[in-house]
Amino acid sequence: MRHWLVLLGFALSACGSPPIDYRGGNAARFEQPQRNGLGRPLIAVALGSGGPRALAHVGVLKALEANGIVPDLIVGTSSGAIVGALYGSGLPLAEIETMAMDLQPTAILDFSYSDRGYIRGEALQNFVNRLVKQRPLEQLPKEVAIVSTDLKTGRAVVFNRGDTGLAVRASSAIPGRFQPVKINGKLYFDGDLVSPVPMRIARELGADVVIGIDVSAFIEDTPTEKSFPTEWITTGTMRKTIVDHEAQYADVIIHPNIGYYAGWSEAYKRNCFAIGEQATLAAIPQIKAAIAVASAKLAR
């Protein structure tokens, strides 16, 4: 898969007008976090990609908070990065839910044809920055890390400093749809390509308890009609393979069964919230057990 990504990166970089190169002190970047110890387990949620299905993350977070489980670290990929950035900014979940109910795709999609993709991504970047009050990642009340893909190496890259909206945009730039994002001379695309549910990265960033939230469609639910693109199966299978490999880094994985087809209707959004919340409530005993185990280890 990495070989395919490298070839894709070279092909895309060879055509179309060059993207803006975001540089300077506010450009999205990574700095190794300094851990001084909380005196308790550091809890992380890994919010996975999934387009509109990521609305289920709101229900997940609501259920966690209702049970006294408040994440210290939010790691997000693609649409999971959008929810993660807003939650990490301190926006109440009720406000995020209301905003999501009113949100239409046209508010975050800016169409501009290019051989690299037909969506620039600046609208999404501005949308996120407006909601987080123009604060960079390091100034958000919660620790937030955003996962993207370096097109030259095909490897996951983490942003936890600098322009929040830019990091989310880089994490959400779906190949063939969004134009790549250039930061300090490097091109970035959708983090879904290499880490759909960033559980490994959450662990590597120092989390004692990792809760993975997989909002992707169940691959076995893929439609069987001859008319649907075979790309759906290919993409779903690749995503599942990566998620299964990263499962070893999570203490608990929640996979809400939202159904295969995604949408933007009011009914669909409410369904995502409810299913995410219900799936998490069912996992609360397992999560609390994992926290207890981590607490015991720290007490030794």
Q: Could you give the residue numbers annotated as active site?
A: 78, 190
> Tokens at residue 11, please?
């092909």
* Residue 76: closest CA among 259, 178, 271, 212: 212
- What is the spatial distance between Cα 113 and Cα 130, in angstroms, rounded to a whole number? 25
Are the C-beta atoms of residues 195 and 1 closer than 8 Å to each other?
no
> Tokens at residue 269, please?
């959004």
Supply φ then ψ for residue 254, to 5 degrees.
Answer: -110, 125
Q: How many residues are recorded in the chain?
A: 300
CA 95 from centre of chain: 19
- What is the spatial distance between Cα 172 and Cα 49, in angstroms, rounded to a whole number? 9
